[in-house]
Amino acid sequence: MVQNADVASLFDQIADLLEIRGDNPFRVRAYRNAARTVGEWPQNLSEILARTGALPRMPGIGADLDGKIREILTTGHLATLDTLREAFPPHLTDLLEIPGLGPRKVKTFYEELGIHDVAGLSRALRDHRIAALPGFGAKSEERIAKSVASRLAKVRRYRLADAARQALPLLDALRSVRGVRDAVVAGSFRRMRETVGDLDFLVTSEDPGPVVERLVGYGEVDRILASGPTKASVVLRTGLQVDLRVLPQISFGAALVYFTGSKPHNIALRRLAQEKGLKINEYGVFRGKERIAGSSEESVYRALGLAPIPPELREDRGEIQAAARGPLPELVALSDLRGDLHARAPGTGVINGVAGLARAARDRGFAYLAITGSGGKSSGRGRPDPDRLRAKKKDLDPIQATIPDVALLLALEVEIRADGSLGLPDEALSDFDLVVGAVEDHFDLSREAQTARVLRAIEHPRLNILAHPTGRLLGEREPADLDMLRILRKAREHQVALEIDARPDRLDLPDLYCRMAKDEGVLLAPSAVAQDPEDFDNLAFGVGQARRGWIEKNNVLTTRPLEEVRRFLEKRT
């Protein structure tokens, strides 16, 4: 069965090739938007088409794209893409996986130097032919060389949300096998790392054969690397490797500990076991030949004299020492959230769009939702109109009347300029329930200049939340160079919360900075930055990032009732 992620991938490939060819940018954007829409659609489109004979109405998907989606779902490929591929060398799009290289640069390399793969680019860099191209130069060549070296040195990693879209349908398939009792995705996926290198599936069953057969016969498998009586390894069509182990119930807890923890965490556990005269492996904890623990994770940690350690903390960052002293903090849970302070009204059909977001928030048990307009962006055309932004409040009134159990707040997202000033004058900020500040450009400033920029913005008496604080885009843009300790201390002084942007390509604030925020007493605000109701699903990844940072319920602004949130937002320092 073709997955939504497969359709999205093919649309993204079309957009890449069209952009390299220099096609109409509106056509390119249509495929990009369609890829995002399909990739994030919550139901499997293959199943819907098979069951109803039709596809659901999706934003931005007209008759032409609807037909192409049907073609992919029914045939597994797309003639339009096949034709485009014939016009280009087969490995040209591999260059797009190098950070900092977009279709325009790839187009230049191909047309000017005949570069059509990573090896060709490496040779051109070695011969300093890139620096000779118009608009590049020695510094550009040096940056590209570093990106190529980094790309060649590491195994491809997948964003957590992308891995989840591949892992969860497979998990359901394995759970459906007769005789399966438990099935879990372990590894970095279970630790909620922002990127995943592969997927480790652990399954308990007294009859491993059918489980192994289900994996190797799974429709998304591209090739089988190994297949044995209790284990198998395959590569999915997306390139993601899946490893399966089928275990007896008595070893399940030990295997979960072994295959979930990072390598440093597991080494530390083995060292601790040796100090206690014990042996620990994926089968259990042993004193000599006697198994003393292993059926549950808790039994394994207790046998080592430790309190149970949540999966997200198993990185050898002090969790073992803390667990030896007593119970670890009770980490924040998705169910603890009582609202979201950064949703975005769609550009069209605003009232219906906001109503959909409000209903989705209500269905998740939220008591409040901030609808955020944007203004003061240097990339926009002309000056923003504060009166138009304030008029959005009237748009919210009829929606609030029909959905009274979710308080709708009016927020404004405003750009933080390079000098740290906000993109709108003070008088334009006064009528909003909260103001969200965001750095949107000039990410290459020096550490001192970038830090000073953010510090000045935090000092503004109207700023409430610092959005996606480091500005990172996973796999595309590194975090800005910031003195985060100074920023956190300034945020605490001026009562500014830091956002955890839960969008799959951001997950920003990173986990280590979340922990620093906790230590400095700065509140965090996980936000889906939702434009569609389904976007709220991403909050699970934002909360996962918080949990990796040891964040508890009381460290999160949006776990608090509306009255407390309003008091926080009404601060004036």
Is the pLDDT reported for residue 23 higher than 50? yes
Low-confidence winner among 97-101, 331-335, 480-484, 537-541 (lowest mean pLDDT): 97-101
* 451 contacts 482 by C-beta, under 8 angstroms: yes
Residues of the chain with CATH 3.30.460.10: 158-247
CATH H-level, domain 334-569: superfamily:
Metal-dependent hydrolases (3.20.20.140)
**What is the per-residue DSSP string for 389-429?**
HHHHHHHHHHHHHH-TTSEEEEEEEEEB-TTS-BSS-GGGT
Which CATH architecture group holds 252-325?
2-Layer Sandwich (3.30)
Residue with tokens 């964040």: 551
In order of 314, 493, 555, the CA distances from 460 in angstroms are 38, 12, 23
* pLDDT at residue number 573: 42
Of 454, 457, 474, 569, whose CA–CA distance to 523 is shortest? 569
Q: What are the start-end ranges of the H helices in 176-326?
A: 187-190, 208-216, 252-260, 263-275, 297-303, 319-325
**What phi and psi values does residue 247 have, to the nearest 5 degrees?**
-125, 155
pLDDT band at 348 (very low <50, low <70, confident <90, very high): very low
Residues of the chain with CATH 3.20.20.140: 334-569
Residues of the chain with CATH 1.10.150.110: 4-153
- Each residue's pLDDT tens digit, 261-294: 999 999 999 999 999 999 999 999 999 999 999 9
* pLDDT at residue number 572: 52
* pLDDT at residue number 373: 81
Mean pLDDT of 32-39: 88
CATH of region 4-153: 1.10.150.110
* pLDDT at residue number 390: 61
Is the pLDDT reported for residue 33 higher than 50? yes
- On the CB side of 371, how many CA atoms lie within 13 Å of its CA? 32
**What phi and psi values does residue 229 have, to the nearest 5 degrees?**
-65, -35
Low-confidence winner among 41-45, 241-245, 484-488 (lowest mean pLDDT): 41-45
Mean pLDDT, rounded, of the chain: 90
CATH of region 158-247: 3.30.460.10
Cα–Cα distance between 376 and 379 in angstroms, integer?
9
- Each residue's pLDDT tens digit, 373-431: 876 554 443 344 556 656 666 778 889 999 999 999 999 999 999 999 999 888 888 88
- Each residue's pLDDT tens digit, 357-368: 999 999 999 999
Mean pLDDT of 245-255: 95
pLDDT band at 232 (very low <50, low <70, confident <90, very high): very high
Low-confidence winner among 204-208, 234-238, 388-392, 542-546 (lowest mean pLDDT): 388-392
Residues of the chain with CATH 3.30.210.10: 252-325
Cα–Cα distance between 300 and 285 in angstroms, integer?
6
Q: What is the pTM of this model?
A: 0.74
Low-confidence winner among 52-56, 62-66, 138-142, 426-430 (lowest mean pLDDT): 426-430
Mean pLDDT of 443-468: 95
* pLDDT at residue number 380: 43
* pLDDT at residue number 382: 39
* pLDDT at residue number 154: 55
